[in-house]
Amino acid sequence: MNDYDPKAFNWLFAFQTWGIVCGLMFLGAVLLAFVLQVLSHTLQEFEQIGPGKPRRSLFQGLRNGCAAFANGVIEGFRDLFFMSPRRVGAITVLVFRESVRRKTLLVLVVFAICFLFAGWFLSDPNRDPLLRIPIYVTFVLTAISWLILPAVFLLSCWGLPDDIKARSLHTVVTKPVKRSEILVGRILGVTLVGTLVVAVMSVVGYLWLVRALPEVNGIKTRVPVFGEITFLDREGKPTDKGINVGDINMFRSYIEGDTAARAIWKFSGVGPSLLNKDGKLVLESKIQGFRTHKGNLERGIIFQYTFVNPTTNVRAKFQPFEIAEFRDSIKPIDNDLIDEKNHPVKLMTDIVDKGQLTVEVACLSTGQFLGMARPDVFIRAQDAYFVASFFKAVLCIWLMMFLIIVFAVSVSTIVKGPVASFLTGVIIVLGIFGRDFMQQLVAGEGIYKWEGGGILESAYRIVTHMNPNVPMEKGFWTTVVQVLDTPMLMFAGHSRAIIPDFDTFQMAKFVAHGYDVPWNSGLLPAIMHTLAFLIPCVILGYFCLKSRELESK
Amino acid sequence: MSTEPVIQIRNLSKVYRDFWGRKKVRALNSLSLDVRPGEVFGLLGPNGSGKTTTLKLLLGLLFPTEGEVSILGKPASDVSKNERIGYLPEESYLYRFLNAEETLDFYGRLFKMTPATRKKRADELIEMVGLKQARRRQLKEYSKGMTRRIGLAQALINDPELILLDEPTSGLDPLGSRDMKDLILKLKAQGKTIVMCSHLLADVQDVCDRIAILYQGELKVLDRVDDLLRDQEMTQIRASKLPPEAVKEIEAIAARYGAKIHEIGQPQNTLEELFLKVIRDSAERPGQRFVNTSAS
Ligand SMILES: Nc1ncnc2c1ncn2[C@@H]1O[C@H](COP(=O)(O)OP(=O)(O)OP(=O)(O)O)[C@@H](O)[C@H]1O
Ligand SMILES: [Mg+2]
């Protein structure tokens, strides 16, 4: 978990983005459906002008189109809200049977083979067990995802199109089954198979881990509580970044020793529940040093915690200690401290202010620097079990699998198997590799700010060979172009969110390095991510399936 | 039993279109007809005349280009009407990886039925269609006739009021088609309404009360089978045994009107003759359509 900054889930931002993206998408879909309906009804009016038929009007066509559209929408939402669990269940079981009889469970055999041979490549008994754990854990979790994803991918992309092509779905829709039930039943059926496979694989994987690394048994994982970081510069003035010492990796910023420079962490929600068995608050840090001179090589760089209550200005210093470079240093803090005026103070009552703990970090070694980032100092809540962390990571793989199933099944309601596979494949590849790239591409420099303007403006510049630095001459057309560009840029900015971010589901980084999978920056975002896609996918998928005659071959 | 029609079709047209919305074929043109409760109604027509299309439109599998359908008092797009309908497709489109029991159980679950009824009904139907020996075999191993039989069982799983059969006897052995006809009559006796398509005219003649003949998507003939097949050129007299003098007298009367009696009786045509005549006429004089006077 080096250089990884776990961000707490931001409800407001998430819902805002979701609302905007879904809103735009639905608006687009609704508009398209509406136009198509009206168009088809209008065309029909004209087509049917034949001998003996009264000539009907464009108006009639428009009216019929609107009526058909409104009807469809009302009926659709009724179908989506009132589904029969019995019928959904019947279809779920059907899909499960189909998948099993198509020998999907063979992936388990592949999984087993993986592990038979994994032993040859991974086992190196001479290695430090602490270094082996990350490799083994990552291997198990990766193996599970890489085997389950292709399996459900194929099942969900080809299932429904095959069902339509073989016309077996025909007979089903002559029964009192809603299209929504068909869609949801199929999603659940594939999910059931996937769940079974993931469950077996994760249990086997865990047992294999325990056998290969007996030290894993009963191991604990850290439960970090992260705070927010700010800095004071060498004059003691607040800044939001420290010094850059020229490291390419800009993750950490540095404070200079023996100056007024400080890094300040604020932790919220600090209360008795975070204390360890001995009633102590445990602070863990992995601060990095940067030496400008050799200094005393025997001794590390010295740093010091000061606990501050900003309201009462009570300040208590903790005894200074050396940083343990490349390892974590763990300091349990007593409740009884001595403040700067030599009065005894209590950490939890006198320092912690409305659940907020403020910790200043100073570097005491002259001329040396300390580098730190937000996750480098954290409170260690009571440890959790490794098993729990492992299975939480598995749960996230499951969520990712579910997301892919939902997406693929929904896409397959409207296109055939190969196209559905292609689209889902593109989404997965973009979701794994392309999101950062898209971010850079779409966001430009600032948010929605490009050099040379938006799409239309750039096009104009390209055609007229105009340098992007030359400002556009003011005028009516410039304004028009810029006004039109703004929503397009916004659309481009948000369209990125249509692609799921598969990084959200990767929890191996926590488990492998001995951390518990956090709720707020691990599980919750993964769950919300899946839900965010579930709702629009099911709605759009349903309407696509509903509008199909299922007759086309 | 109410006399409200079970199926009302008004001006139904269907144009098949390709992906781009271009017209491929007009499969049905302004069809209007009613099916009354308790009758066996036959849809006849040469290949490609729109019989299957009509059934699919009734079920809401296809969306009409124009016109309306009301089936059991509901529009075709309302899936809840399917609770009371049974449909045997032209070919049995079933899940080939299920066996007979699982198939019936699956379709049964789609209806409001208790598990016990479902089980009982499935057993009865398997017995009825004669698949007892093969009940645990997957459908992909079934022969054509066996698939037809399980298809029929699936259509009857919900004890439907209205049964739509698309070529019920195709693929069945002579015994099977005999059984099928008996079954249709039995269902009729139970007060069910049956609509069937068929080419096998003898079958239709045996079981149907009324028929409609379609040709290139248009309705050409619609009437009671008996009335249609009655030869209007002849008169048939059937009486309890007449003494020879009476026959002589009748012959004399006929002779007075310039007729000669070959046989006293009104012969029936076969449906085959009628069918061929209608099709031949329609081909010669296109554009003539049966105007349904009873359906408003
Ligand atoms: N899915 C389809 N796409 C395009 N045209 C179709 C489709 N299904 C049927 N048709 C056309 O519609 C017309 C009527 O077909 P339909 O299947 O209703 O005939 P039918 O009377 O059932 O014939 P058969 O006796 O061969 O079963 C035919 O011209 C056929 O080619
Ligand atoms: Mg047909």
pLDDT tens digit string along A482-526? 777 777 766 666 666 777 888 888 888 888 888 888 888 888 888
In sequence order, which residues have a C-beta less than 8 Å from that of residue A66 and are 6 or more positions away? A34, A37, A38
A97 and B102 within 8 Å at the Cβ level: the answer is: yes
B93 and A97 within 8 Å at the Cβ level: the answer is: no
Residues in chain B closer than 8 A to A87 (CB atoms): 109-110
Q: What's the mean per-residue pLDDT of chain A?
A: 81
Angstrom CA distances, B183 to B152, B187, B195, stand at: 11, 6, 13
What is the Cα–Cα distance from A420 to A431, expressed in whole angstroms?
16
* pLDDT over 70 (residue A349): yes
Alpha-carbon gap: B157 to the closest alpha carbon of chain A (Å): 10
Mean pLDDT calculated for residue range B195-207: 84
Q: With contact defined as beta carbons under 8 Å apart, do B89 and B127 qualify? A: no
* Of B85, B65, B162, B156, residue with least CA distance to B118: B156
* pLDDT over 80 (residue A283): yes
pLDDT band at residue B220 under the 50/70/90 scheme: confident
In sequence order, which residues have a C-beta less than 8 Å from that of residue B212 and are 6 or more positions away? B33, B41, B42, B43, B44, B219, B221, B222
Nearest CA in chain B to A415: B19
Mean pLDDT calculated for residue range B197-220: 86
A98 and B19 within 8 Å at the Cβ level: the answer is: no
Residues with CB under 6 A from ligand 1: A 551; B 16, 24-25, 27, 45, 47-53, 90
Angstrom CA distances, A467 to A442, A452, A454, A482, stand at: 20, 8, 14, 17
What is the Cα–Cα distance from A317 to A376, expressed in whole angstroms?
19
Q: Which residue out of B110, B150, B163 would a mutagenesis test of the A interface target, given it has the greatest number of A Cβ atoms within 10 Å? A: B110
**Closest residue to atom 5 of ligand 1, CA basis:** B16
pLDDT band at residue B121 under the 50/70/90 scheme: very high
| Phi, psi angles (nearest 5°) of residue A393 | -65, -40
3 state SS of A357: strand
**What digits encode the pLDDT tens for the residues A90-109?**
999 999 999 988 877 788 88
- Which residues are registered as beta bridge partners of A307? A316, A359
pLDDT at A48: 55
- Of the listed ligands, the closest to the CA of B49 is 1
* Distance from residue B91's CA to the centre of ligand 2 (Å): 9
DSSP for residue A3: T
Residue type for position A130: L
**What digits encode the pLDDT tens for the residues B240-268?**
677 778 878 888 888 888 776 666 655 56
3 state SS of A223: strand
pLDDT at A297: 64
Nearest-atom index, ligand 1, CA of B214: 21
Question: Mutate which of B47, B54, B166 to test ligand 1's pocket (most atoms within 8 Å of Cβ)?
Answer: B47
B288: its two tokens: 């003539």
Q: Which residue from A44, A173, A178 is facing B65, i.e. has the nearest CB?
A: A44
Encode B133-185 in three state secondary structure. Answer: HHCCCEHHHCCHHHHHHHHHHHHCCCCCCEEEEECCCCCCCHHHHHHHHHHHH
* Distance from residue B53's CA to the centre of ligand 1 (Å): 6
Q: Which residue from A97, A171, A552 is facing B94, i.e. has the nearest CB?
A: A171
B72: its two tokens: 């059991």
Q: With contact defined as beta carbons under 8 Å apart, do A306 and A318 qualify? A: yes
* Predicted TM-score of the model (pTM): 0.82
What is the Cα–Cα distance from A328 to A285, expressed in whole angstroms?
6
In sequence order, which residues have a C-beta less than 8 Å from that of residue A510 and are 6 or more positions away? A1, A221, A389, A393, A516, A517, A518, A522
Work out the number of other CB atoms within 10 angstroms of the CB of residue A509.
Answer: 19
Virtual torsion, Cα B198, B201, B204, B209, nearest 10 deg: 120
* pLDDT over 50 (residue A445): no
* pLDDT over 70 (residue A395): yes
* pLDDT over 80 (residue A360): yes
* pLDDT over 70 (residue A175): yes
- Which residues are registered as beta bridge partners of B26? B15
**Closest residue to atom 7 of ligand 1, CA basis:** B16
Mean pLDDT calculated for residue range A367-383: 83
Q: ∠B88-B91-B94 over CA atoms, to 5°? A: 80
- Which residues are registered as beta bridge partners of B34? B8
Sign of CA pseudo-dihedral B135, B138, B141, B145: positive
pLDDT band at residue A49 under the 50/70/90 scheme: very low
- DSSP secondary structure letters along B220-245: EEEEEHHHHHB-TT------SPPPHH
What is the Cα–Cα distance from B130 to A20, expressed in whole angstroms?
60
| Phi, psi angles (nearest 5°) of residue B194 | -130, 130
Angstrom CA distances, A472 to A210, A453, A463, stand at: 67, 9, 14
Cβ of residue B198 closer than 8 Å to a chain A Cβ: no
- Which residues are registered as beta bridge partners of A346? A336
Virtual torsion, Cα B152, B157, B162, B166, nearest 10 deg: -20
* pLDDT over 50 (residue A536): yes
pLDDT at A57: 66
* pLDDT over 60 (residue A449): no
In sequence order, which residues have a C-beta less than 8 Å from that of residue B51 and are 6 or more positions away? B43, B44, B45, B166, B197, B214
Q: Which residue from A86, A98, A171 is facing B109, i.e. has the nearest CB?
A: A86
* Distance from residue B110's CA to the centre of ligand 2 (Å): 26
**What digits encode the pLDDT tens for the residues A53-88?**
555 567 777 787 788 888 888 888 888 889 999 999
Cβ of residue B27 closer than 8 Å to a chain A Cβ: no
Say if the ipTM goes beyond 0.85: no
Residue type for position A195: T
Residues in chain A closer than 8 A to B61 (CB atoms): 170, 173-174, 549-551
Cβ of residue A53 closer than 8 Å to a chain B Cβ: no
Pairing of strands B193-197, B162-166: parallel
Sign of CA pseudo-dihedral B172, B212, B38, B89: positive
Work out the number of other CB atoms within 10 angstroms of the CB of residue A492.
Answer: 19
Task: Classify domain A224-382 at the CATH class level.
Answer: mainly beta
Strand ranges inside A287-433, DSSP E: 288-291, 302-309, 314-317, 321-322, 329-333, 336-338, 344-346, 357-363, 368-372, 377-385
- DSSP secondary structure letters along A226-281: E-EEEEE-TTS-EES--B--S-S-TT-EEEETTSS-EEEEEE-S-SGGG--TTS-E
Q: What percent of chain A lies above the pLDDT cut of 90?
A: 14
* pLDDT over 80 (residue B137): yes
| Domain ranges, ordered by start, for chain A | 11-82, 84-218+385-445+498-546, 224-382
Lowest mean pLDDT among A168-172, A539-543, B261-265: B261-265
